[in-house]
Amino acid sequence: MAATRELGGEKAQRIVDAMRASLGARGAAGSTFDHVAREAGVSRGLLHYYFGTKERLLVEVVRRDCDIRMAMLDEAFAAAADADELIDALVRSLEDLVENDPGFIAMVFELFTSSRHNDELAQEMRELMRRVREHLAGLLAAKRAEGAIALGGEPDAVASVLFALADGLTLRMLSEPDVDFGTTIDAAVIAVRQLIRSV
């Protein structure tokens, strides 16, 4: 997968953007290289050249979105002086995701489902999930080293629980858009305070 990790240039970005739009409109199964090439304004062969397979392109779409989300968390963590500010940043990130980018959540769940039946996609998704978990764990460990927070477990374990909680909450919030999940978020914050505490 080294080739896709070094992607650059306007054409590659157009391909990734076109696949992201196609996922929202057609889902993973319906997003063919023919559709994406046409919408990106490039040849089908160029998709094969850059990505090799549709599965690798799908993972690249999620990877790019995860990188954007992780960069936003980097900024929020850098500004957080204590556990309260850090937890507030996590809640804001979750609410922003559900309100402004529900397609990303749906895309991740769809790719996970597809990966259950595709070994190549499963391997790519495992690597991506490992990378974002380790990134968040690194942010938590750095804040603990600064003396800004105490953790109720090892950074990697706390990161895993935070992602699991966020995955579950986003799925329920998207499944029942008419429900006010304010009290649910409040309950989740109480749980998270057992994992991320002020010093």
Report all structural domains of the chain as residue ranges with CATH numbers, in order of start. 2-198 (1.10.357.10)
Q: Render pLDDT for 73-87 as a digit per residue (tens, 0 to 9).
A: 899 999 999 999 999
Q: Render pLDDT for 160-180 as a digit per residue (tens, 0 to 9).
A: 999 999 999 999 998 999 999
pTM of the model: 0.83
Tell me the DSSP string of the chain.
-HHHHT--SHHHHHHHHHHHHHHHHHHHHH--HHHHHHHHTS-HHHHHHHHSSHHHHHHHHHHHHHHHHHHHHHHHHHH--SHHHHHHHHHHHHHHHHHH-HHHHHHHHHHHHHHTT-HHHHHHHHHHHHHHHHHHHHHHHHHHHHTSEEESS-HHHHHHHHHHHHHHHHHHHHH-TTS--HHHHHHHHHHHTTTEEE-
